[in-house]
Amino acid sequence: MPKHTNDRLQGTLDLLILNILARGGAQHGYAIAQRIHHATDGSLRIEEGSLYPALQRMTHEKWLRAEWGVTNTGRKARFYTITPTGRRQLEQEERRWLTLTEAVARALRLA
């Protein structure tokens, strides 16, 4: 079964995308990439090569909905919004992420 080799990172990327869309409403790919870039002060840069496959996959998982629209500079772009299923997924991913990071942090402190 083909599964992404970098499972954890993929999960992280999903989480970031879902989070941005849940907070910021409809966004196109470029904007999502920019948002992540700025929100992390440039420490996390999303590669376009990972972004678009993730968006495609998440659309097909029914977490996102994609619609063609026009950017404020008048360019045709695909806008993504989060679906209710996506919100549930976000909650789960978030919980999982917090549990994991907490656990890792604790382990690091105690070690």
Between CA 90 and CA 63 the distance in angstroms is 9
Query: Any contact of residue 30 with other proteins (CB under 8 A)?
Result: yes
Task: Return the residue of 17, 18, 20, 55 that touches other proteins, per CB under 8 A.
Answer: 55
Contact status, residue 61 vs residue 92, Cβ threshold 8 Å: no
Query: Any contact of residue 96 with other proteins (CB under 8 A)?
Result: no
Which letter, b or e, does each residue of 45-66 get, where b requires 16 or more Cβ atoms within 10 Å of its Cβ? ebeeeebeebbeebbeeebbeb
Instruction: Tell me the site size for other proteins, rule CB under 8 A.
Output: 27
Strand order in the sheet with 64-70: 27-28, 76-82, 64-70
> How near is the Cβ of 111 to other proteins at its closest, in Å?
36
Residue 3 or 104: which CB sits closer to other proteins? 3
> How near is the Cβ of 64 to other proteins at its closest, in Å?
12
Q: Tokens 């700025």 belong to which residue?
A: 38
Residues of this chain that bind other proteins (CB under 8 A)? 1-3, 28-30, 33, 47-49, 52-57, 60-62, 71, 73, 75-78, 85, 88
